């Protein structure tokens, strides 16, 4: 983020802390895609993610006076959103099984571990044709991860938070975060290697080499 953008954001935050709803709405416009994307990857359902995202922004507005700028505002929002997504997920798990299955059905997820491979293959016709099916495959892989590992992988590998930021967001130790990310990545990689034909060419080669 440039200094100008950072100064603008700090001004919007300060105004929001004084109760300026219009200023906070500007922050919502800046971060709504980021927050929705993270929550969607955790929950796997667009409508549910939209509802939780809205609730997370409401919670952020109510609690913005507590934001002190020790971390980035983006990280602070992701902490709120991921915590609310986890709370929702746990509530769903206590309901009948069909509710949980409905929550995880989706067609257009995003990828944590092969994002760079997909991005670098954006102009590759083969990769473009396979993207939709691959996206669905990755979302299923994410949903198979235990919730704590899924949160750590999404926040680190998709949203780009540091291990320290993930630890703060999940209120756990750095060692626990490292373990969750390592285990989550391994499980997701093992899941994806069952479907090599859907992976971008470079990723197919890297997974085959790692298995040899």
Same domain, 89 and 153: no
Burial class (CB in 10 A: 0-12, 13-18, 19+), 162: middle
Same domain, 46 and 125: no
Same domain, 94 and 146: no
Q: Point out the domain boundary residue: 106, 141, 164.
A: 106
Confidence at residue 6, expressed as pLDDT on a 0 to 100 scale: 66
Model pTM score: 0.74
Domain that holds residue 69: 1-106
Confidence at residue 116, expressed as pLDDT on a 0 to 100 scale: 42
Tokens of 2: 């440039």
Q: Point out the domain boundary residue: 106, 131, 157.
A: 106
Contacts of 44 (CB under 8 A, 6+ apart): 103, 104, 105, 106, 109, 139, 142, 143
Per-residue confidence in pLDDT tens, the chain, 212 aa = 665 466 699 999 999 999 999 999 999 999 999 999 999 999 988 899 999 999 999 999 999 999 987 679 999 999 999 999 999 998 887 665 444 444 444 433 333 444 444 334 444 444 444 566 677 777 888 899 999 999 999 999 889 999 999 999 999 999 999 999 999 999 998 888 887 766 655 555 455 545 54
Residue 158 DSSP one-character state: I
Same domain, 102 and 198: no
138, 111 Cβ separation under 8 angstroms: yes
Same domain, 102 and 128: no
CATH of the domain at 37: 1.10.1740.10
Distance CA 14, CA 64 (A): 9
Q: How many domains does the chain have?
A: 2
Burial class (CB in 10 A: 0-12, 13-18, 19+), 89: buried
Confidence at residue 140, expressed as pLDDT on a 0 to 100 scale: 85
Same domain, 25 and 79: yes
Distance CA 16, CA 29 (A): 14
Same domain, 153 and 88: no
Same domain, 114 and 73: no
């Amino acid at each position: 983020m440039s200094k100008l953008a950072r100064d603008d954001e700090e001004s919007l935050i300060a105004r929001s802390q004084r109760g300026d709803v219009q200023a906070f709405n500007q922050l919502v416009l800046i971060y709504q895609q980021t927050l929705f994307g993270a929550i969607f990857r955790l929950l796997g359902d667009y409508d549910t993610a939209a509802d939780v995202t809205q609730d997370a922004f409401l919670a952020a507005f109510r609690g913005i006076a507590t934001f002190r700028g020790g971390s980035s505002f983006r990280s602070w929002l992701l902490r709120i959103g991921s915590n609310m997504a986890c709370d929702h997920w746990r509530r769903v798990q206590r309901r009948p099984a069909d509710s949980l299955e409905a929550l995880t059905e989706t067609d257009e997820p995003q990828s944590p571990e092969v994002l760079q491979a997909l991005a670098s293959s954006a102009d590759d016709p083969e990769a473009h044709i396979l993207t939709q099916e691959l996206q669905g495959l990755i979302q299923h892989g994410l949903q198979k991860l235990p919730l704590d590992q899924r949160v750590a992988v999404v926040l680190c590998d998709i949203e780009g938070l540091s291990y320290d930021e993930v630890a703060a967001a999940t209120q756990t130790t750095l060692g626990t975060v490292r373990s969750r990310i390592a285990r989550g990545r391994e499980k997701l990689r093992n899941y994806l290697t069952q479907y090599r034909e859907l992976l971008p060419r470079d990723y197919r080669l890297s997974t085959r080499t790692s298995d040899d």
